[in-house]
Amino acid sequence: MPKMRTTLIRGGAAVIGQTVSQQDVLIQGEHIAALGKLSDHKADIEIDASGLLVLPGAVDTHVHFNDMFMNTISVHDYYTGTLAAAYGGVTSLIDFSNQVSGEPLMNTLKIKKDEAKGKALVDWGVHPVITQPTPNILEEIPLVVEEGAPSVKCYLTYREEGLMVKEEDLKRILESLQKSGGMLMVHAEDNEIIEENVKRFISSGLSKPIYHAQSRPPEAENRAIRRCLQLAKETGGRVFIVHLASDEGVELIGAAKLEGLDVIAETCTHYLILTEKMLERDDGIKWICSPPLRSQSIQDKLWEGLEDGRLAMVTSDDAAYSWEAKLYGAQRFDECPNGIPGIEARLNLLYSEGVAKGRIALPRFVELVSTTPANVFGLAPQKGSLNSGSDADIVLFDPKAKWNMNQQTLHMATDWSAYENIEITGKIVKVFSRGELIIDGNRCLAEKGRGRYIRRRLDSSRQKPT
């Protein structure tokens, strides 16, 4: 057997579980071989990490690459998207793959394998999205679970875009997932409330971006979340609420957990950093996303939910549409493709606004961006934490460095940025993916196509994340 290359990262402060302590990290081949005081060890490559944090690579389980939506396609493909991911410290991601009309559900995996081939720089997985739950599609649910894609997403809105499923179908999908060891992810916004509001606003000439937010009030989310919780109760199935952005939603999830329902919720970076005030600007279409950005008081509630565990994790909901495409909404908000590019910004923003500003502790930050997403979506123990034997997915992070986040300092493929001139504390210095140095300062060293498909399996003991 050829000798595996070794790398020794010396003297950094590693975040392992709830502790932060000085640990040397030995990488052998693709894995972490040892952690601890390794002063007598030698390695092929030695890196001085004193003054730096040693973090597990970030895991982003909510991204939309090559996503065809509202007459456009997202500009992040498996090269540009994973490049931005790597610069943002993301070493594993899970992408949504929409069911194609008339095709088997298994094709959702094949489509992404084709898209990733020769392009992906980091490891990736797939969430199949069911939009037409015919009996044949329902029968295929155990097959996609078996193929390593056990998390299936459905939408309760976007009827006109062809994404919405009916509630009775949602129940059938959840029952099938429960039997086969899967989990249902739901975009929980009530379509009826939204469609009625949009019609009313547009017909009265209220077409500016702020009316996008007003057409999708927190109550639209709350109503849909209540229905999902009811389904979780009726079926005993596991339900994951994506991009939660309502204060009452946080309370509903908290109460459901106390009741013992198998329910988990995430929020996304932009709801924690930006408010609906952005939509009042002349270029407010930049910040049109769904659910919409909310008030400051709701934002404060979301941070509270993250701190106390009612919200389990933070993802980016990366949906990167070009400025040209966003301009479809220049005259009326309902024609703007909904979405914000964010895969690169999440780790930095969460550290800067969360840890550096004292809102969350450093170990909690690591749980939110790495450990819990990996645990919930079946990527652990290979991904999401620094353990001997795990994949050597590691971020070296300078907690003191200051920089300005804007279109010029980010690497995402959009020709605009939702984050304009945000002062950031903390900077990614190096990123390793399976033992390979892929980001070194402002250089990307990763070879196209090195990223691998991750076959996932959900934890059968169904441990609830804290």
Q: List residues near Zn ion by CB under 5 A.
A: 317
Residue nearest to Zn ion (CB): 317
Cβ burial 130-163 (10 Å sphere, 16+ → b, else e): bbebeeebbebbbebbebebbbbbbbbbbeeeeb
CB nearer Zn ion, residue 182 or residue 339: 339
Minimum distance, C-beta of residue 96 to Zn ion, in the bound complex (Å)? 7
- For 323, residues 6+ apart whose C-beta sits below 8 A from its C-beta are 414, 415, 416
Please give the Cα distance from 215 to 220 (Å, whole number).
Answer: 9
Are 401 and 352 in contact by the 8 Å Cβ rule? The answer is: no
Strand 72-73 and strand 68-69: the pairing is antiparallel
Are 344 and 306 in contact by the 8 Å Cβ rule? The answer is: no
CB nearer Zn ion, residue 163 or residue 380: 163
Minimum distance, C-beta of residue 103 to Zn ion, in the bound complex (Å)? 21
CB nearer Zn ion, residue 115 or residue 317: 317
Are 187 and 243 in contact by the 8 Å Cβ rule? The answer is: yes
CB nearer Zn ion, residue 52 or residue 152: 152
Minimum distance, C-beta of residue 216 to Zn ion, in the bound complex (Å)? 14
Eight-class DSSP state of 369:
I
CB nearer Zn ion, residue 27 or residue 90: 90
Minimum distance, C-beta of residue 68 to Zn ion, in the bound complex (Å)? 14
Cβ neighbour number for residue 112 with a 10 Å cutoff: 25
- For 332, residues 6+ apart whose C-beta sits below 8 A from its C-beta are 202, 207
Q: Is the dihedral of CA 7, 79, 98, 110 positive or negative?
A: negative
CB nearer Zn ion, residue 317 or residue 391: 317
CB nearer Zn ion, residue 27 or residue 213: 213
Minimum distance, C-beta of residue 64 to Zn ion, in the bound complex (Å)? 6
Minimum distance, C-beta of residue 129 to Zn ion, in the bound complex (Å)? 10
Please give the Cα distance from 345 to 339 (Å, whole number).
Answer: 14
Output the CA–CA distances (angstroms, integers) from residue 277 to 16, 205, 271, 273, 293, in the order listed: 38, 20, 12, 12, 8
Minimum distance, C-beta of residue 85 to Zn ion, in the bound complex (Å)? 15
Minimum distance, C-beta of residue 130 to Zn ion, in the bound complex (Å)? 15
CB nearer Zn ion, residue 158 or residue 201: 158
